[in-house]
């Protein structure tokens, strides 16, 4: 037979353990909340860092594009100057070539109809 003292000491032990468990759960909740806040701060820092890195890459891409456009413009101007000098040096050859292309283009268009 179970004695009354044994039952009351068992109940007291269960209450103590239940309180300990409740206290541990509250501490865990506080720890989880702190962890979530830390992760949120870490994520915000990471997002800011990624934004800065993307901005830097974007600035580099714009600068590279502008440099390439400048180089291309210089090449086009050089080709234009070269072509102009060649046309001035050989005007009859260029005129004959243009006339020949015109005739071919005209023949092509007349056969389409």
Q: Tens digit of pLDDT for each residue in 52-65?
A: 888 888 888 889 99
Total count of domains within the chain: 1
> pTM of the prediction?
0.45
Torsion angle (degrees, nearest 10) of CA 95, 96, 100, 105: 0
Give the residue numbers spanning the domain of 107.
4-112
Q: What percent of the chain shows pLDDT beyond 70?
A: 94
How far is the C-alpha of 66 from the C-alpha of 22, rounded, in Å?
65
Phi, psi of 99 (to 5 degrees): -65, -40
CB count within 10 Å of CB 94 equals 14
> Measuring CA to CA, how many Å separate 75 from each of 62, 65, 78, 84?
20, 15, 5, 14
Mean pLDDT throughout 61-75? Answer: 93
């Amino acid at each position: 037979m179970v004695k009354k003292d044994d039952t009351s000491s068992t109940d007291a032990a269960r209450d103590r353990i239940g309180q300990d468990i409740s206290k541990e759960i509250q501490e865990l909740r506080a720890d989880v909340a702190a962890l979530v806040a830390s992760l949120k701060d870490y994520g915000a820092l990471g997002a800011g860092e990624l934004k800065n890195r993307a901005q830097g890459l974007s600035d580099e891409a714009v600068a590279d594009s502008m440099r390439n456009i400048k180089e291309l413009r210089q090449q086009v101007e050089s080709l234009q100057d070269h072509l102009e000098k060649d046309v001035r040096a050989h005007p009859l050859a260029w005129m004959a070539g243009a006339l020949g292309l015109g005739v071919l283009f005209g023949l092509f268009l007349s056969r389409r109809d």
